[in-house]
Structure 1
Amino acid sequence: MKKAALVLGLVAMLAVQANAQKLRGGGAPANYETAIGIRMNPWLVGFTIKHFISGPHAIEGLAYTNFNNRGNVTFTGLYEYHWNVFGKPEFLMYAGGGAHVGIYDRRDYDYDRWLHDNKNTYVTAGLDGIIGVEYTFKKIPLSVSADLKPYFNFSGGTHFLGEEIGGASARYTF
């Protein structure tokens, strides 16, 4: 069920991206319009898609899971504002925010309630922030980035906040 939700989320993000591409606004500060790839850290792996909607404004969708808790999946939507740094057009910094919905195994993320209620899964929503740096290669269609993405869940546990806060991405650009 969780894997099906992850695949459905990825398909939905691709559909939104395809529609957004038709509505393109001004030029992006990066030398690409849309990028799709993988985001990971030592504990997480997932998919990322970023699309510049107008000038330095971009939207990013994430769908990821925890290596140790493969039954868990989180879907995140972010707005990001980009600006050039280091005097090079290939380097961008970005910051923004958004929201997420997570489907978690209560035993992994909220053990005390799992012992009391004995319910296996739960759904929670929350708010996210993001700040990072990105480098886009000139001669190959690749963008790499590193970021911090702190979040807050409205309900449930946040026992793995330290594991999920940072990440690195590699994206194919087009």
Structure 2
Amino acid sequence: MKKLLLLLVLGMVIGFNQSASAQEYKSAIGLRLGYPLSVSYKTFLNDKAALELMGGFRSWASYRSVNIGALYQIHNPIESVSGLSWYYGGGLQAAFYSWDSGYLADDAGKTSIGISGNIGLDYKFANTPINLSLDWMPTFWLTGYYDGFGSAIGGLAVRYTF
């Protein structure tokens, strides 16, 4: 997982067109691929601070989950690559789980609440309303199905900017 993340970060830094614009975007909406798979909405509150809201749904076999989250992020430009910035921040996550064990009246469910850190890269393509971000969200789960530290949260977001 660490090698894959490193390769993705290097690919973003090396592979992007150097003629990309430094133009900023106000808001963006799209998909966040990874765990959890979600819809992502990001809006800048000022030149550096952004708020990202996420919501998603997963289902397989007899297991279902719904997740929501909010992150406050501070963005800092990487001067050597136009359109690229790195960010850090934190926020809250909530996940609602349910499953069916196959027996009558034996369904179960849990709610997990967590505090997340957030670090990543954000890239805005020049002359195209597309934004990519790649991040990691280590989360400390306070209650519920998960309990304790979770490090496997994060992903790649592809968004339409406006």
TM norm. shorter chain > 0.5: yes
Q: How many residues align?
A: 135
SS at match of 1:54: coil
- How far is 1:30 from its partner? 5.4
Shift of 1:161: 3.9
Q: Greater share of strand residues, 1 or 2?
A: 2
Cα deviations by residue, 1:49-91 (Å, 9 ceiling, x for unpaired): 0000011000000112346476201100110000011523300
Give me the whole-angstrom Cα distance separating, in 2, the residues matched to 1:49 and 1:155. Answer: 26
Gaps of 5+ in 1: 1-28, 109-117
Distance 1:93 1:139 in 2: 21
**1:150 alignment counterpart:** 138
Q: Alpha-carbon deviation of 1:142?
A: 0.2
Question: Structure 2 unaligned runs (5+)?
Answer: 1-21
Report the Cα distance in structure 1 between the residues aligned to 2:73 and 2:98, rounded to whole angstroms.
30
Partner of 1:34: 27
Judge conservation of contact 2:112–2:145 (CA < 8 Å) in 1. no
Quick one: which of 104, 112, 121 aligns to 1:133? 121
Q: For 2:57 and 2:156, how far apart are their aligned partners in 1?
A: 14
Change (3 A) 1:101 1:62: same
In structure 2, the partner of 1:21 is: none
Task: Tell me how far apart the structure 2 counterparts of residues 77 and 30 of structure 1 sit (CA, whole Å).
Answer: 25
Aligned match of 1:51? 43
On the 8 A contact 2:36/2:154 being kept in 1, the answer is: no
In the aligned structure 1, how far is the partner of 2:135 from the partner of 2:37? Answer: 14
Task: Report if aligned partners of 1:44, 1:67 keep a CA contact under 8 Å in 2.
Answer: no
- Matched ranges for 1:4-83 at <5 A: 31-41=24-34, 44-66=36-58, 68=60, 71-83=64-76
Instruction: Find the aligned partners of 2:87 and 2:97 in 1 and give their Cα distance.
Output: 29
Q: Distance in 1 between matches of 2:130 and 2:54?
A: 18
Computed over aligned residues only, the root mean square deviation of the Cα atoms, in angstroms, reads 2.6
Matched residue, 1:103 = 96
TM-score (norm 2): 0.73
Change (3 A) 1:106 1:71: closer
Q: Which has the higher helix share?
A: 1
